[in-house]
Amino acid sequence: MTSPISPPPVQGGGRNELPAYVANGVMGLRVREMPLAAGLTLLSGYSGEHPQRRIEGIALAPYPIAGDIQLEGVWLSDATHAVTVVNQAYDFETGELTSRFEFDVAGRKAQVEVLVFCSRDEPSLVCQEITIELDKDSDLALSSVLDARHVDGRALRHLRDTPGEDKPCCDGAILWESAGALSTCGVAYVTELVGAQANPERPPLENRTLTTAYALKAKAGEVYRLRQIASLIPKVTHLQPDFQAGRQVALARKRGFENIRAANRAIWSDLWKGRITLVGAEPRWQAMADAALFYLFSSTHVASPASTSIFGLATWHDYHYYYGHVMWDIETFVVPVLSLLQPPAAESLLDYRTRSLPSAAGNARLRGRRGLQFPWESAPSGQEAAPLPGSASWHEDHVSLDVARAFAFHSFVTGDAEFLREKAWPILAGVADWLTSRVTQSDRGYEIRAAMGIAERETEADNAAFTNMAARVVLRDAIRAAEKLGRAANPEWEQIAKSLVLPKQGDVIVSHDHFQPDEEKGGTPDPLMGVYPLGFDMESKVERATLKYYLALREGYIGSPMLSALYGVWAAYAGDRSLSAKLMEDGYGLFCVGRFMQTLEYRADLFPEQPRAGPFFANLGGFLLGLVTGFPGLQPSWGDAQGWARRPVILPAGWTTIEIERLWIGGRPYKLVARQGADRALMTPLCDDVREG
């Protein structure tokens, strides 16, 4: 196994760029360049009322690993001018962020190194180690801070002692209620001082902070370490989340910091067995592929109670739109990649939709329809949370089809009969039944009127191409699932699938009825989503004509979010390797900028007015999806995996091979090799080992 390329360390500070994002799929932290200052924390399943929109959204949780240093009576937090940021380095191989700075005050200089990681082995834990060395003897104090000063909500209770016990099980715990009292979370922490003996001071909750401080006489040249381990638990996973967080950190204290770190490293080592290797590509493309995969793995976990959002578990001050909601992009661009690389994480994302079935059924009933209609913007609770007036939620019908297709895709890849029966079938049947009440029968066949495609325009249109193509594919998936399960499919499903209207102008599939290329967002290539990744069955002349038409319109779209990353694949399917290479750069390479290669939502050179928001999962997910299934020409189905490769391999100019050391198919590991010019990509079983649950 080869190691991923970590981004170069960032030297110095003061840049206008996103801070480091450290996460494990259950929690996500924005860690500042001076890492002891409180950053921002998001916790999967923890939600609150948005202060302006008043809707449910993911809420900021208390920052669990802030800190402070005192030299000769001067606290760093009171003398930030005395801090010099040296560098910050992110090790993608292990998921560890290391920050270095100097604190120079009162004639003393401290060299400080701060290590942070979110544990994948114990996913409620975040760990930090502050290492400090002084140039002169000094009075030194090190403080661990659980900081909620800049977080909406309130403390319902805090604990310094353990009820019924003489000895506290942790340094402190807090039960925090979000704005609007929509949910609570619990945070508990433990500390350890290494290199000296000192009694900790643990004052009561004050100014929305819990602190533990150690004071000592420090010697020049000696190394001192303060270790912090915190657990964050949302109420959705435990009714007394602060108590459960206390249990988690008590166990962590017993296991020890180094053992937790070693276990985390071992899991990352296993994750990287799914590394995507780009042979022949420039090294920066390999670095971008590694970064995209790193942020995908960092933002998803089998323990996640509420899927992941379009920005994963990341946020920052100047972008708050989407509110941490789960949207169609996750099922379309993220789930398929994980189904092949990390099936348990993919199933965890899908389980969020399974738990949300009552909300989807309620949505359908509110619109006078049968079956399941999933929310356009799904809050952590699973309910519709689109900002008022909610215009996108009125017509963006394709989200239900995207969800159903993700369940079908995961069933194809895993071959899990129990998953198909218990989880995929209710979704497929429910969405298919919804379609029977959504379509309108006319002399043209069956139509889906007043819908919105991928382009969110001001006015809805009839027969949005992507929606109608996805509807036909999902109906056929539902029919095939019924056959596999020995169930009777609704006869209407086949009738609708056969006669669903597809908007065309000549041989070109166009975005919707009465489409004009100069209309609002007319360059949006949503019909190409039928070519890939949907794999919609169309005549070869129709595919060629549609590819040619929308590739020619690319200047009106490329650089926008969501579909730009797929242009390279579409150009390859059109047979143009040089254009594919160019569009990979224009459609993805120029999005991947700034500190630690976080993929932005918008290209900054084309949209300078937009905030730098990332990592954006539609873009990086689309990029990864193209590498895993697009360029290799894979279209998974319930058939033999050896038949999934359905196209000759055409790669961007200069690329020779895409290799993936380990894919999971039917619970067994395979190696994928897609070599330029080959008639088909090759998938080779590695061994007879069955995937562990």
Alpha carbons 74 and 459: distance in angstroms, whole number: 61
- Find out whether 291 and 592 touch, Cβ atoms under 8 Å: yes
* Cβ-proximal residues to 389 (8 Å cutoff; 6+ apart), any chain: none
Q: Helix/strand/coil (H, E, C) string of 285-308?
A: HHHHHHHHHHHHHHCCCCCCCCCC
Beta-sheet strands, E only, within 148-183: 154-159, 172-177
Determine which helix (DSSP H) or strand (DSSP E) holds 194, and give its type and residue range.
strand 184-194
* Cβ-proximal residues to 519 (8 Å cutoff; 6+ apart), any chain: 457
Give the torsion sign (CA, 416, 418, 422, 428): positive
Provide the CB-side half-sphere exposure for 87 (13 A, CA). 8
Alpha carbons 269 and 265: distance in angstroms, whole number: 6
State the pLDDT at residue 693: 42
* Cβ-proximal residues to 605 (8 Å cutoff; 6+ apart), any chain: 559, 590
State in Å, rounded, how far the first CA of the chain is from the last one: 22
Give the 3-state secondary structure of residue 100: strand
Phi-psi sector, 5: left (phi>0), alpha (psi -120 to 50), beta:
beta
> Around Cβ 585, how many Cβ atoms within 10 Å?
16
State the pLDDT at residue 692: 46
Mean pLDDT per segment of 10 residues, for the chain of length 693 residues?
92 88 98 97 97 95 98 97 96 98 96 98 98 98 97 97 94 98 98 97 96 98 98 98 98 98 98 98 98 98 96 89 94 98 98 97 97 97 95 93 98 98 98 98 98 91 97 98 97 98 98 96 97 97 98 96 97 98 98 93 93 95 98 96 96 98 96 98 82 47
Tokens 């599939």 sit on residue: 509
- Find out whether 567 and 552 touch, Cβ atoms under 8 Å: no
Degrees, nearest 5: CA angle 211-31-229: 45
- Quick one: tokens of 292? 């995209």
Degrees, nearest 5: CA angle 168-170-175: 105
- Report DSSP letters for 570-590, one per residue: HHHHTT-HHHHHHHHHHHTGG
Give residue 606's identity as a one-letter amino acid code: L
> Is the pTM here over 0.95, yes or no?
yes
Degrees, nearest 5: CA angle 361-363-369: 75
Give the 3-state secondary structure of residue 256: coil
Degrees, nearest 5: CA angle 691-692-693: 115
| Cα-based distances in Å from 494 to 136, 162, 397, 436, 478 | 81, 62, 20, 10, 10
State the pLDDT at residue 689: 57
Residue 290 burial class via C-beta count within 10 angstroms: exposed 0-12, middle 13-18, buried 19 and up: buried
Alpha carbons 157 and 148: distance in angstroms, whole number: 13
State the pLDDT at residue 458: 87
Give the 3-state secondary structure of residue 8: coil
Give the 3-state secondary structure of residue 237: coil
In degrees and rounded to multiples of 5, residue 607 shows phi and psi of -130, 65
Q: What is the largest CA-CA distance in the chain?
A: 89
Alpha carbons 684 and 669: distance in angstroms, whole number: 9
State the pLDDT at residue 690: 55
Q: What structural domains and CATH numbers belong to the chain?
A: 10-249 (2.70.98.40), 272-355+560-693 (no CATH), 380-557 (1.50.10.10)
